[in-house]
Amino acid sequence: MTGLTQTEMEALSGRIGRRPNPVETSIVAAEWSEHCSYKSSKKHLAMLPRTGAHLVDDSSYDSAVLDVGGGYVITVHIESHNHPSAVEPFGGAATGVGGVIRDILSTGTRPIALLDGLRFGDIRSDSHARWLLRGAVSGIAHYGNCIGVPTVGGELGFDPCYADYALVDVAAIGFGLKTRLIQNHAEPGDAVVLIGGSTGRDGIGGSQFASDSLESDDRSAVQIPDPFTEKLVIEAILEARDAGLLHALKDLGGGGLSCATSEMSDSLGVGMSIDVGQVHTREELASHEVMTSESQERMLGIIAPGSVADMQEICAKYGIACSRIGTVTESSDLHVHDSGADLARMPVGIVANAPLLDLPRTRPAYLEELARARVPDALPGGDYSASLLSLLGSPNIASTEHVYSRYDHEVGIRTVVRPGRDAALLRLDNAKYVSLAIDGNPAHCYVDPRAGAAGCFEEACRNTVCVGARPIGMVDHMQFASPQDPEIFWTFIESLEGISEYARAMEIPCVGGKVSFYNETPSGPIKPTPVIGVIGLADSAPKNPAVADGDVIVAIGTSRNEMGGSEYYSHVHKTVAGSCPQVDTGSSRACLDAVLALHDGGLAKRVHDCSKGGLGVALAKMCIWEGRGCDVALDGAPGCADMGADVALYSESHSRFVAVLGAPDAQQALDIAAKSGAACAVIGRFGGSSIGINYRGRSVASVGLQDASDTWHTSLERTAHG
C-alpha cells in the first residue's frame, strides 16, 4: 500500500525540489489520499452556497457552527465509515460514531445527539446483508449508549446495489456557549499534545483503504472501538476548554497524525515539529506507522507551553494519557523527528494540499435504457389493498423500532420528538429547539442523479417542517463509486448541481459535508447515494393535541405522474421505470411555508410528509400512528383526479404532506395554505377500523388497521432475523 501515483510522486518531488524519503512519502500518501485531500471533488464543491444568517464562518472547524441565539451555538457534522463497516460491521460502525463525535468535540461543544443512516443489500434474500445490519446496529448501540449521547434518529435502507457492502453514515449535533468555542490559533513555541487512546498498529493505512475499492484492499485496517476512553476524552477536553487551556484542537481521523498535524499547521499558518518518540504507543512501531496509524479516541491539541502540566493533570484525573509530542514553529515546515533524528521536513502547504484533479465525465449509458423501460400496467380489477399491505412490510418502509429501540434515544433528556417520526427534535438551554433529519434516496438518484439529490434535500426539509422547525442549514454527504469512471463522476457532478440549485433557491446554506468515493461492491458500483442532513430551528415544540374520529385529513402539495424509482415499482413489480420526481422550487417553498404556517397557527394536529410509497403509505402510516382507520377520496388530492389509482396512491412526487386537523379548523387551514400558494384539499376523515381509500367513487384499497399495524411494526424484525 504505497499510496502515491507516479504523477503524484513526480509532483511532490517537483514541489519539494528533491525525492521524498520513505517516511515523507507515507505521510504525503496519507494526506493526499482521496479521503483526506478531496482531490477529485474539491474543485467542484465550490459550487455549494456557503453563507447564511446563522452560520459562524470559520473554516478552521471540522464541524459546522451555527448561532442559535442567546449566546449559544450548535455544531453539526456528518461522516461515513463504509469500507471498515463492510468488513467488520460492529467495529466499523462503532468507530464511525466515535469519529463524528470527536469532530463535534473539536470545536469545543458537547455532543448532544447522533443520527445514523444505514444501507445494506437486500436483507430478504441475503444473509450476509443481515449479518452486516446486525453488526452495524450493535456497534452503534455499543458506542453511542456507552458515551451517553442519544441516537435520536436516522434512516435505514436496502437495495441490491449494496450487496456485500454497507453504507454507515453518522451525523452528530453539538451544543455549547459561543464564548467557549475553541478559537483555533497558535503561536510559535506552543506545545503540541496528543490526548487520549494509545497509538498502535490498528487502522494503519485506513484512509487509503477507504480510497480503494474493496477488491484491492488487504483488509488489515481494522479499528477497535473503545467508547469508554472516548467518554473520558470528551469530559477531559470539555474540562480543559472550561479552564481555557486549548488554543486549537483537532480530531485524529483518517490519515492519523500525518493529516492532523499537516492540516492543523496549514489552517493556522504555522509550522510544527513533531517527535514521534514522544507519542504514547501500545507497541513497538516504526516512525511511518506512528505517523499514519488511525488508532481511535485521540485528539491533537495546541496549548501554551506553560499549560502542559495543567492539561496532563486534567487528563490524569480521567485516566487518559496526554503526551507532549511537539512544538509549534515559526517556519512553514512540518518537521518530523525521532528524539532529534530527522525523519521528514516538508512545507505544510505542500503536504496539506494535494494536486487537484478535474476528472472527465460522461452521461451514463444505462440512463438511455431506463428511459425506454416499460411502465407496469395498472392492476386488473383495480384493487390495491394487497399492494398497500405489502408495501407497509417493505424493509424500506416498515417501522425501524426494532433498530432504534436498541439505542438510548433519550439520555441527556433533550429529546422532544423521538425516532420513528419525521425528524428528531431536541430542546436547547436557550428555550429553542433544534431538529435534524437525514435523507437519501438511491432509487431516485439512480434514475436521475440531479433531481434525486435535490429530492433528498427537499425530503429532509419536509421532515424538518413536519416537527415545526425552519431549515437553517444543510450538510451533504456524497457517496459514490470510483470518480475515475467518467459515468460515475457525471452522476456525482449532477447530484452536486441539483443540491446547489435547491440550496440557492431556498437560501439554505451548505454548512458542511463530506465526500466518500470508491464505494464499490464485489459486483460493481453502488447507486449514487447522496445523503442530505437538514438542521432546523424552532421556537416551540409541537403540541400534539389528541386526534379524534371525525378529524379531517388534508393533502398538501400537487401529485404528478412520477413513478421513476418508486418503491411501488421496485417492491411490487420488481422494476424501475417512469420519470423521476422533480423538485419545483416554487411549489417546494409554498408547501414548506404552508406547513410552518399551520404549525404557527396551532391548527395542524399532525403533519407527515409523503415520501416512499407516496400518499398511500403516508395515509396508512398516519392511521397506524393514531390507531384509527380513515375514509379518504384520493381523487380529491391536488393533481390526483386523472392520473389513475396506482399513480395517485404510489407516485413519489415531492413537496407533499398529509395533515390532520380538527374539523372546525379545516377552512381556516385551507385559507392559510392558499395564502402560502400551496395546493391543498380535504380528502377524508379519521374513523372506523380500516384504512379505506377510494378513487373516483370506487374503493381502491381497504386494509384492516390491525393488519396494517402488525405488518408495519413487525416486518423488519422478522426479516432481519430471517
Partner 1 sequence: MPVFDVRVTIANKQSLPDPEGATILQDLVRRNNNTDVTEIRTARLLKFKVSAPTAQDACKNISEMCRELRIYNPLVSEVSVESD
Partner 2 sequence: MGFEVEYVWHEHRLPSGVDLVVLPGGFSYGDRLRAGAIAAHSPVIRDIRELGASRTPIIGICNGFQILVEAGLLPGALLLNDSLSFMCKWTHISVENNATPFTRLFERGEQIHIPVANGQGRYYADEATMRELTDGNQIVFRYADDINGSTMQIAGVCNSERNIVGMMPHPERASEPEVGPADSDASPIFRSLLQESGAARQ
Known catalytic residues are 35, 81
How many residues touch partner 1 under the rule CB under 8 A: the total is 20
Judged by CB under 8 A, does residue 131 bind partner 2? no
Judged by CB under 8 A, does residue 522 bind partner 1? no
**Separation CA 210–CA 288 (nearest Å):** 19
DSSP string spanning 88-120? Answer: -HHHHHHHHHHHHHHHHHTTT-EEEEEEEEEEE
Which of 2, 228, 269, 316 is close enough to bind partner 1 by CB under 8 A?
Answer: 228
| Minimum CB distance to partner 2 smaller for 138 or for 579 | 138
Least separation in angstroms between CB 87 and partner 1: 6
User: Which positions from 148 to 167 touch partner 2 by CB under 8 A, shown as an x/- string?
Assistant: x-------------------
| β-pair partners for 157 | 119
**Separation CA 332–CA 318 (nearest Å):** 35
From the list 87-95, 303-311, 432-440, 469-477, the region that binds partner 1 by CB under 8 A is: 87-95
Which of 29, 87, 424, 669 is close enough to bind partner 1 by CB under 8 A?
Answer: 87
CA distances from 146 to 94, 228, 231, 296, 548 (A): 11, 7, 8, 15, 40
| Minimum CB distance to partner 1 smaller for 221 or for 398 | 221
Closest CA to 175 of 68, 301, 96: 68
**Separation CA 235–CA 397 (nearest Å):** 38
Judged by CB under 8 A, does residue 222 bind partner 1? yes
**Separation CA 68–CA 46 (nearest Å):** 25
With a CB cutoff of 8 Å and minimum separation 6, the contacts of 694 are: 631, 632, 633, 634, 635, 700
Cell (9 digits) for 199: 497509538
Judged by CB under 8 A, does residue 225 bind partner 1? yes
User: Of partner 2, partner 1, none, which one does residue 415 interact with (CB within 5 to 8 Å by kind)?
Assistant: partner 2
Which of 151, 229, 329, 353 is close enough to bind partner 1 by CB under 8 A?
Answer: 229
Judged by CB under 8 A, does residue 498 bind partner 1? no
Judged by CB under 8 A, does residue 145 bind partner 2? yes
Touching partner 2, residues 225-254 (CB under 8 A): 226-228, 231
Judged by CB under 8 A, does residue 217 bind partner 1? no
With a CB cutoff of 8 Å and minimum separation 6, the contacts of 359 are: 40, 483, 484, 486, 489
Touching partner 1, residues 680-709 (CB under 8 A): none
User: Of partner 1, partner 2, none, which one does residue 409 interact with (CB within 5 to 8 Å by kind)?
Assistant: partner 2
Touching partner 1, residues 267-326 (CB under 8 A): 282-283, 295, 319
Give the position of cell 500500500.
1
Q: How much helix, strand and coil, in percent to the nearest 5, is found in the chain?
A: 40, 25, 35
| Cβ atoms of residues 208 and 84 within 8 Å | no
Closest CA to 154 of 411, 437, 407, 393: 437
User: Of partner 2, partner 1, none, which one does residue 219 interact with (CB within 5 to 8 Å by kind)?
Assistant: partner 1
| Minimum CB distance to partner 2 smaller for 297 or for 631 | 297
* φ and ψ of 367, to 5 deg: -65, -30
| Minimum CB distance to partner 1 smaller for 116 or for 217 | 217
Least separation in angstroms between CB 429 and partner 2: 13
Judged by CB under 8 A, does residue 407 bind partner 2? yes
Least separation in angstroms between CB 422 and partner 1: 36
Least separation in angstroms between CB 83 and partner 1: 12
Do the bridges between strand 271-275 and strand 333-338 make them parallel or antiparallel, or are there none, so unpaired? parallel
- Calculate ∠ Cα 137-138-144, nearest 5°: 85
Closest CA to 591 of 459, 506, 679, 499: 679
**Separation CA 24–CA 291 (nearest Å):** 10
From the list 226-234, 242-250, 671-679, 712-720, the region that binds partner 1 by CB under 8 A is: 226-234
From the list 34-42, 222-230, 389-397, 598-606, the region that binds partner 2 by CB under 8 A is: 222-230
Judged by CB under 8 A, does residue 183 bind partner 2? no
User: Of partner 1, partner 2, none, which one does residue 141 interact with (CB within 5 to 8 Å by kind)?
Assistant: partner 2
Give the position of cell 501515483.
5
| Cβ atoms of residues 32 and 346 within 8 Å | no
| Minimum CB distance to partner 2 smaller for 181 or for 428 | 428
**Separation CA 223–CA 340 (nearest Å):** 30
| β-pair partners for 338 | 341
Which of 304, 308, 373, 541 is close enough to bind partner 2 by CB under 8 A?
Answer: 541
User: Of partner 1, partner 2, none, which one does residue 258 interact with (CB within 5 to 8 Å by kind)?
Assistant: none
User: Of partner 1, partner 2, none, which one does residue 407 interact with (CB within 5 to 8 Å by kind)?
Assistant: partner 2
Which of 21, 60, 138, 331 is close enough to bind partner 2 by CB under 8 A?
Answer: 138
Judged by CB under 8 A, does residue 315 bind partner 2? no
| Minimum CB distance to partner 2 smaller for 238 or for 508 | 238
CA dihedral angle for residue 495, residue 499, residue 500, residue 503, rounded to 10 degrees: 180
* φ and ψ of 434, to 5 deg: -115, 140
Which of 47, 224, 286, 367 is close enough to bind partner 1 by CB under 8 A?
Answer: 224
User: Of partner 1, partner 2, none, which one does residue 146 interact with (CB within 5 to 8 Å by kind)?
Assistant: partner 2
Measured N-to-C along each axis, helices 385-392 and 705-720 cross at an angle, to the nearest 10 degrees, of 40
Helices H / strands E in the chain, number of each = 25, 27
**Separation CA 129–CA 124 (nearest Å):** 9
Least separation in angstroms between CB 204 and partner 1: 11
Touching partner 1, residues 396-415 (CB under 8 A): none
Judged by CB under 8 A, does residue 366 bind partner 1? no
| Minimum CB distance to partner 1 smaller for 222 or for 633 | 222
Judged by CB under 8 A, does residue 416 bind partner 2? yes
**Separation CA 699–CA 620 (nearest Å):** 15
Which of 345, 406, 470, 713 is close enough to bind partner 2 by CB under 8 A?
Answer: 406
Judged by CB under 8 A, does residue 43 bind partner 1? no
Which of 201, 324, 406, 504 is close enough to bind partner 1 by CB under 8 A?
Answer: 201
Which of 1, 9, 146, 505 is close enough to bind partner 2 by CB under 8 A?
Answer: 146
Judged by CB under 8 A, does residue 608 bind partner 2? no
**Separation CA 209–CA 518 (nearest Å):** 10
| Minimum CB distance to partner 2 smaller for 29 or for 136 | 136
Judged by CB under 8 A, does residue 458 bind partner 2? no
Give the helix/strand (H/E) hosting 302: strand 298-303
Cell (9 digits) for 344: 521528514
From the list 101-109, 223-231, 322-330, 500-508, the region that binds partner 2 by CB under 8 A is: 223-231
C-beta atoms surrounding 351 within 10 Å: 27
**Separation CA 543–CA 450 (nearest Å):** 37
| Cβ atoms of residues 471 and 423 within 8 Å | no
The sheet with strand 167-177 has its strands ordered as: 64-69, 72-80, 167-177, 110-120, 151-158
| Minimum CB distance to partner 1 smaller for 91 or for 542 | 91
**Separation CA 409–CA 414 (nearest Å):** 9
Footprint of partner 2 (CB under 8 A) = 138, 141, 145-148, 226-228, 231, 404-411, 413-416, 427, 541, 544
Q: Which residues bind partner 1 (CB under 8 A)?
A: 87-88, 90-91, 131, 198, 200-202, 219, 222, 224-226, 228-229, 282-283, 295, 319
